[in-house]
Amino acid sequence: MKSNFSSLKLVAVLFLTVCFTMSYAQCDKGNVYGQKGQKSGYAIVFADSNGQHEVPTAAMTLPTFKGGNKAMCRYINKTKKYPVNLKNQKISGTTTVQAKVLKDSTLTDIEVVSSSGYKEFDDEALRVVKSFPKMIPSTQSCEPQDMIVQIPVTFIYEDEVAAEKKKEEMEKMKKDVAKPITLYFENDRPDPRTRTETTNTEYMGLYNNYMSAKNTYITSAGKGLTGAKKTSAENAVENFFNDSIQTGYDRLVKLTNFLVDALQDGHQVEFTISGFASPLSNSDYNKKLSSRRIQSVLNYMARANGGVLAPYINGSKPGLTIHRVPEGQINHNFSTNEVRETVYGLQAAKDRKIIIDRISIR
């Protein structure tokens, strides 16, 4: 069987729409190009020297882009530049570029085999394919072999406009989410009176419980006080709930949603997450409590949006670097040991926190 295949000039045709950001999901699902109800995707076909399609055997593999079709989509998307003249005229088109993938993974004999009808598209498609990194070669019975691939590069005006809009939105979001985010916790939460460094609790539940106890914290902050002091203490705690606790959570949701888009689009993201505690226990306990607080926030991120971020957070997918810094207690003394101040007071509330900062998106 191997000798029969070696006597043929095998042609692999890789149908691939240019995957702008809007098309990544379809590409990732492995949709077949031209299938009913689907606008983009890919299919792999090979043929003999007469152009007749052959049925692949179990012993054969076709050339592939390192990282798979998703990586190929992303590469073309990032590398390709829509010719300005044709974009201004709202013109779309497809150019098919052919190349031979050699046994050593290099590409050679790169040429346009089907013109779009526009030289600018043809030249750009040719430039993109010539810039391809080495591909994984075809094999027959586990032996590498040369094979020709054809890559139709499609320029779609509407997708170009959508991609530019999304890029602008991404740049705006980068500036917004790059600002430090502070999240707050109830006393000794999560998992009170334990000495573990990790937790299965997620921050959303902690946040909801904290917000549900808002009136208790407001009332307790003013307990034992009278007149203007009582009003001032209660107002300060109420404002803290509205302006700090709730705002921090809202920004965490926004950052989490942003990370899904950024990481799936191939961006590299890095941030530091630091945990703090009020000085009501010893240093070792507070350090472990700070570590649990950090973990609770990462649990929220990992479980949100159907768990899309989980493999990035646990390291099974590249792209996300997290620096965990459980600082422990903030060193200062309360003016009194009353629960009103050490648990329900504004300073104690501000001490119980984590900070996400040094956020970098590349």
- Is there a contact between 356 and 301 (Cβ–Cβ < 8 Å)? no
Q: Residue 336 has what pLDDT? A: 54
Residue range 188-210, pLDDT digits in tens? 999 999 999 999 999 999 999 99
pLDDT bin (cut points 50, 70, 90) of residue 282 is confident
pLDDT value at 176 more than 90: no
Residues in CB range of 351: below 8 A, 6 or more apart: 276, 277, 278, 279, 329, 330, 332
Q: What is the pLDDT of residue 55?
A: 60
pLDDT surpasses 80 at 170: no
pLDDT at 103 > cutoff 60 = yes
Model confidence pLDDT, tens digit, residues 251-260 = 999 999 999 9
Phi, psi of 7 (to 5 degrees): -80, -10
Lowest mean pLDDT among 219-228, 269-278, 331-340: 331-340
Distances (CA, A) of 241 to 24, 118, 231, 248, 350: 39, 60, 16, 10, 10
Which of the four pLDDT bands, split at 50, 70 and 90, describes residue 115?
very high
Our measurement of the distance from residue 71's CA atom to the centroid of its chain's CA atoms, rounded to an integer in Å, reads: 14
Percent of the chain clearing pLDDT 90 (strictly above): 53
CA distance 182 to 297: 11
The fold for domain 2-165 equals TolA/TonB C-terminal domain (3.30.2420)
Please tell me whether residue 249 adopts helix, strand or coil conformation.
Answer: helix
Pairing of strands 181-184, 353-361: antiparallel
Q: What pLDDT was estimated at residue 187?
A: 92
- What are the residue ranges of CATH 3.30.2420.10 in the chain? 2-165
Q: What share of the chain is helix, strand, coil (3-state, %, to 5)?
A: 45, 20, 35
Q: Would you state the pLDDT for residue 46? A: 54
- Which pLDDT band holds residue 144 (cuts at 50, 70, 90)? very high
CB 58 within 8 A of CB 199: no
Q: What is the mean pLDDT of residues 264-273?
A: 91
**Nearest Cα to 145, choosing from 61, 67, 68?**
61
Q: Which whole number is the average pLDDT over 316-339?
A: 79
pLDDT at 244 over 90: yes
Angle at 41 between CA 98 and CA 306, to 5 degrees: 140
Instruction: Return the higher-pLDDT residue of 124 and 279.
Output: 124
Once rounded to an integer, what is the mean pLDDT over residues 262-285?
A: 88
The type of residue at 229 is K
Mean pLDDT of 73-99: 91
Lowest mean pLDDT among 7-11, 232-236, 314-318, 329-333: 7-11
Of how many residues is the chain composed?
362
Has residue 79 got a pLDDT over 80?
A: yes
Instruction: Number of helices (H) and strands (E) in the chain: give both, helices first.
Output: 14, 12
Tell me what the pLDDT averaged over the chain comes to. Answer: 82
pLDDT band at 334 (very low <50, low <70, confident <90, very high): low
